[in-house]
Chain A
Amino acid sequence: MTGRRRLLAGAAAALVALGGALAWWMLPPRAMDFAGDGAVALADYRGPSPVGVPAELAGASLVARGKYLTEAADCEACHTATGGTPYAGGRAFITPFGTLYAPNITADVETGIGAWSDADFLRALHKGIARNGQRLYPAFPYESYTLIADEDVKAIRAYLFSLPPRHAPSPPNRMKFPFDQRWLMGFWSLFYNSDRRFAPLPERSPQWNRGAYLVEALGHCGDCHTPRNLAQALDNRRKFAGGVVDGWRAYNITQDRTAGLGDWTDAQIADYLRRGHTVGRGSAGGPMAEAIDLSLSKLSPGDIDAMVAYLRAIPPVRDRRQAAVKTAPAADSHRTMATAAPLGAALGKQMFEGACVSCHGWSGQSLITPDATLVGARSVNDAAAANVALAVLSGVQRPAPSLSMPAFARAYSDAEIAAVSNYVTARFGAKASSLTAKDVAKLRAQSAP
């Protein structure tokens, strides 16, 4: 072989290998593959049913059951515009491929799903195909919803149909070519949507199976918490190792002791899911706070415990960039700072002492409410500090006033918000962040107003 040929052959081999690797990476396992084989069809499962509503609601009406399941599936979060009527759609999703608007899913015939039959609704949730045959974008998490049992899908539809219809056309999507070609989503589905219903694992406990149904099918936790590959599909090899939504970091919720939930107690995880706060572990903000208020806080205690049991089974995924959370409070004085002064320290301190310290305290332990305690929170221990900056920008709006925080975006500059974020991570976290005004400008563009 000539050198030239050898080179070509080598390149071809490399290409094949690369293609293989790419294919391997592009075709990740299914959400529950980590749990091993042995899943059986729901009909063949002998234990108490992992699907449907909890026992307390077993005798409730179809609509009442549908309400519970709709909340468990958190339909409201995506299908409601800020300040708008629930389920009437219109919320914008800014993606790298363009802007999508959530459709109206009230029973309005013209602009909502009023004309949809059970079969139409099932096809949408399970296959990602709308009533008119159009392919849906996977921003709608049908790769998870496909796991929802038929009866539950019907109950959800019954609930949505019980609400007053709202005439509310959604703005047209603005997707860039070629992503405006909806038929392409057919290929995506081919690869990434199993189109299979939830299949329990008999060797696991009934609680585990119920938790799996809630986490994987209804709750679609992976949608935010699992990283994505190039095709925007969930990379389940690194299941629950963390992702990014609207600029917010969805943290690692695997059993890794440093980066994930490995050293949280069951009660701590349950607390967080129920009310968005765990003493000494911080509070939820952004999309997680929304998920808690609209969905998780409405679940039965038994269901929350089931979710915890299931989360306990998630294999740990390491993340070297994620330092261990610092649990010791900072000094209760503005004078002492454990780490070296971060970027923009003087400005950051000025903003902190004016706008933040009243609630969060110099020590990071709030005098007002444990919900405002920053010590031990993942966000202030994240050297990317995106969640800190976003919380400052867009605030935290929760139903309990004591859990809420004002949004500082309008009156504070990018440099100020970068500075205070760096100050906060330096003061309360394991490692100071080094956000710049430019970074904050990007986050600002992703956050609300």
Chain B
Amino acid sequence: MMTIKVNGEIKHADVTADTPLLWVLRDVLGLTGTKFGCGVAQCGVCTVHVAGKPVRSCVLPIGAVGQREVVTIEAIGEQPNGAKIQKAWLDLEVIQCGYCQSGQIMAATALLNQTPVPDDSDIDAAMAGNLCRCGTYVRVRQAIKHAAAEV
């Protein structure tokens, strides 16, 4: 039995320690907002925050999470930067199919947490790991700047 703290709650899952956090969230805990796209850390749709850092949950064994707190898309809106990013995403109509957007929003929120006013190179560095097959990149960039400009 593995125990983790997700979105402020203690959760238990009967899985082996090598099980990636992604599948525990989605299939065991029913938190399907975090998506599966590649399973090899190449697309970013599975991004969650672990101890405040953006992490690809598809390759993070649950056994490696330990006491560190996990925050997913379902709760990111409770954080000031998460809410700001969500709002900017709607204001600028970033979203198309939306499948990658949980990951984009988690990565963008982590970026604002670390760099309140990011420039283009900061955005590249933080967001290049997040693929979007619908091609929302132009607006992702705009929305991050828009959110950063909001007080």
Contacts and interface: CB of A to CB of B under 8 A. Distances in A.
A–B contact (CB under 8 angstroms): yes
Interface of A: 333-335, 350, 353-355, 357-359, 362, 367-369, 400-402, 406
B128 A367 contact: no
B129 A358 contact: yes
Nearest to B64: A369
B15 interface: no
B56 A353 contact: no
A80 B44 CA distance: 36
A402 B18 contact: yes
Nearest to A361: B53
B79 interface: no
Contacts of B148: none
Interface stretch (B27-35, B87-95, B117-125, B139-147): B117-125
A77 B31 CA distance: 43
A368 B55 contact: yes
B125 A358 contact: no
B129 A353 contact: yes
A172 B131 CA distance: 46
Contacts, number: 53
Contacts of A333: 125
A368 B129 contact: no
B138 interface: no
List the 4 closest A-B pairs by CB distance, nearest first: A334-B125, A354-B128, A353-B128, A358-B41
Q: Which of A333, A400, A401, A406 has the most CB of B within 10 A?
A: A401
B51 to A, nearest CB: 9
B61 A369 contact: yes
A353 B125 CA distance: 5
Interface size class of B (residues with CB under 8 A): 20 to 34
11 contacts: A334-B125, A350-B128, A353-B124, A357-B129, A358-B129, A367-B50, A368-B41, A369-B61, A402-B18, A402-B59, A402-B64
Contact of A362 (B18, B56, B124, B125): B125
Interface of B: 18, 20, 40-42, 44, 50, 53, 55-56, 59-61, 64, 121-122, 124-125, 128-129
Contacts of A369: 59-61, 64
Nearest to B47: A358
A354 B132 CA distance: 12
A368 B125 contact: no
Contacts of A357: 125, 128-129
Contacts of B55: 367-368
Contact of B59 (A335, A350, A362, A368): A368
A368 B42 contact: no
Contacts of B128: 350, 353-354, 357
B64 A368 contact: yes
A354 B38 CA distance: 14
A368 B18 contact: no
Given A353-B129, A369-B59, A406-B40, 11 more contacts: A334-B122, A350-B124, A350-B128, A354-B128, A358-B129, A359-B41, A359-B59, A367-B53, A368-B56, A401-B20, A402-B18
Nearest to B41: A358
A117 to B, nearest CB: 45
Contact of B42 (A334, A353, A355, A401): A355
A355 B53 CA distance: 18
A331 to B, nearest CB: 12
Nearest to B39: A401
Contacts of B18: 400-402
B125 A406 contact: no
A335 B128 CA distance: 15
Nearest to B131: A354
A385 B42 CA distance: 23
Nearest to B61: A402
Contacts of B60: 367-369
B34 to A, nearest CB: 15
A368 B60 CA distance: 5
Nearest to B43: A358
Contacts of B53: 367
A334 B53 CA distance: 15
A358 B122 contact: no
Contacts of A353: 124-125, 128-129
Contacts of B121: 334-335
Contacts of A402: 18, 59, 61, 64
Nearest to A406: B40
A400 B61 CA distance: 11
